[in-house]
Amino acid sequence: MNLPNKLTVFRIILIPFFILILAVPIFSGNVTIAGTVIQNARWIATIIFVVASLTDFLDGQIARRNNLVTNFGKFADPLADKMLVMTAFIFLTAFNKVPAWVIAIIVCRELAVTGLRLIIVENDGQVMAAAWPGKIKTSTQMLAIILLFLNNVLFSAIHIPLDQILLYICLFFTIYSGIDYFVQNRSVFSDSF
């Protein structure tokens, strides 16, 4: 197994730890950072999320630079990303940090685009590359999740709800990039009409 795939597997392994930290009340207490109170569990979970997110960035860079792209990587990397992000958003919904309807849209888009990717691979043998709207969506998702878990640390003191701003930017690019993927690949469905 090459290094990018090991990083992907490591990211998948981190997800149950992320869930345990948030679901099991073993880390009681709070920490205060820049005047913002954060539960210990959310602080620790955020560290795990950041490490997992960094492995996502690294595995793609290493795979492309060293020509280490594999079928396992093509399958597992986007799956690991979606599992991590969806898990984080589900917990944020449970913590009343984000509206359920926003997360429902994000989850539906992710499932629809994943299905589209599968059809494209089956028909063309090609993996659908991420376009710039999808990259913006992913970046804003990651940043919004971090700030939402950390109660908008640093920005709450100056009364800028950057966590919420990033969440709705993420929602916009979730919808836009989903539509863009389907429009760009509408020929896949040409036999349906």
Q: What angle do CA 18, 37, 31 make, to 5 degrees?
A: 65
Give the residue with greater pLDDT, 76 vs 8. 8
Give the residue with greater pLDDT, 13 vs 119. 13
The secondary element (H helix, E strand) that includes residue 32 is strand 30-33
Tokens at 49, concatenated: 């999320």
In tens, the pLDDT along 129-152 reads: 667 888 899 899 999 999 999 988
Task: Say if domain 3-186 classifies as CATH 3.40.718.10.
Answer: no
Domain ranges (residues) in the chain: 3-186
Torsion angle defined by CA atoms of residues 37, 156, 95 and 111, in that order, rounded to the nearest 10 degrees: -140
The pLDDT value given to residue 144: 96
Q: Any residues with CB less than 8 A from the CB of 79 and at least 6 apart, and which?
A: 12
- Rounded to two decimals, the pTM is 0.86
Q: How confident is the model at residue 34 (pLDDT cuts 50, 70, 90)?
A: low
